[in-house]
């Protein structure tokens, strides 16, 4: 059994956007009880992340880490046509994840208690992002 | 054909724990000859890694790299409720992998000669970790 | 429906090698219309990457980032038996991706407009690399 749909997320610029509820709804619609749920972000300047879902300072600290490790306006970068956050957004995407698979058990994503699914927008400006969701199972 | 089970790994604190044999046994139990084996760690402070399996200094050096790139006790982090290794464990998890898929060919994981599967515990204290394994194929 | 084959890529040393066309051909050969295409690199010193496919300076800048973050000849590393790029190649592999899944829609990989699939060779010397491709769907 295969079920595919595309989530559309309007971001307000750099930051993390919770996807767990939308993904859970897709899995319910699929009717799959046992299988896998696959997410794929169709962009090279936004990514997917599984992250602690209780304390928002975790995601704030992740931004702090990335701002230090891959700072905007890095003079070593040549690909700057879309601004100082252009190339850092590509690096952050490569360091995190474009695709992610989660087991489906008893009709639900088998996430751990503290795991949340997030889209991570790496550009400073708002964007519309597409995440393709594929649910496969029986 | 779908086969799911959960591995339980008792860690002794930060470090890497070989999973290749347990995963191989799960694939054998599944009866799948051609397909995929998917691993998923249900935590946000431990991760999965494919790594050189012959020389243990590779994994020692990976710890050295992480200790320098994401040091414990980083004063920039606010999420410190569980101690100086709390937030670094989340960052290390995001920089590595929560899910991993390996092709199954002729009833076995088609790993390269030097590839081993490891659970990477990022917390200093021992933990019990759960890895969900899904084998799908024919 | 399952379809597996192995791509063989002869690299000329460190750098990125476009795989999108070879993967597209494999998906066509599979006959799958709706499903997933899974890639797996059977090495621990080369990895997979989805990256902006229009401007080659993006991939040049990614090399610059990695050369600074994981420099060759790092004196902290003990695993140097194959030279100064040996351990850095393992670290770069762990920081990027050994496996990658892409949705298949209407018989094609549903990549975003700017997404290209690349093999990233992390060793300085030329190598022959194997990427296992599994297409599953209906």
Q: What is the pLDDT of residues C60-81, one digit of tens each?
A: 999 999 999 999 999 999 999 9
φ/ψ region of B13 (left if φ > 0, alpha if ψ in -120 to 50, else beta) reads left
pLDDT at B84 (0 to 100): 97
Shortest distance, CA C54 to any CA of chain B (angstroms): 26
Q: Looking at the partner chain, which of B52, B61, B137 has a beta carbon nearest the beta carbon of C44?
A: B52
* Residues in chain B where the model's pLDDT stays below 70: none
C-alpha pair distances (Å), A81 with each of A120, C63, C114:
21, 18, 15
- The token pair that represents B113 in the structure block: 């000669």
ipTM reported for the complex surpasses 0.90: yes
- Which of C65, C71, C61, C117 minimizes the C-alpha distance to C91? C71
Q: Which residues of C touch B136 (CB under 8 A)?
A: 136
Residues of A in contact with B81 (CB under 8 A): 55
Mean of per-residue pLDDT scores for chain B: 97
- Chains A, C: CB contacts under 8 A, how many? 86
Q: What is the pTM of this model?
A: 0.97
Q: Which residues of B touch A (CB under 8 A)?
A: 2, 4, 38, 40-45, 69-70, 76-79, 81, 87, 90-91, 93-95, 97-99, 101, 130, 132, 134, 136
pLDDT 10s digits, C20-31: 999 999 999 999
What's the rounded Cα separation, in Å, for the pair B107 and B117?
17
Q: Which parts of chain A register pLDDT below 70? A: none
Return d(Cα B37, Cα B100) in angstroms, integer.
Answer: 8
């Amino acid at each position: 059994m295969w079920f595919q749909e595309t989530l559309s997320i309007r971001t307000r610029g750099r930051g993390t956007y919770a996807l767990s509820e939308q993904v859970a709804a897709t899995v319910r619609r699929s009717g799959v009880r046992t299988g896998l749920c696959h997410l794929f972000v169709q962009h090279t300047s936004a990514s997917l992340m599984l992250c602690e879902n209780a304390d928002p300072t975790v995601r704030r600290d992740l931004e702090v880490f990335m701002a230090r490790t891959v700072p905007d306006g890095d003079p070593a970068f040549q690909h700057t046509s879309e601004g100082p956050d252009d190339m850092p957004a590509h690096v952050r995407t490569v360091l995190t994840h474009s695709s992610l698979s989660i087991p489906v058990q008893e009709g639900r994503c088998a996430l751990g208690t503290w795991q949340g699914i997030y889209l991570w927008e790496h550009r400073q400006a708002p964007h519309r992002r597409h995440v393709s969701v594929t649910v496969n199972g029986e």
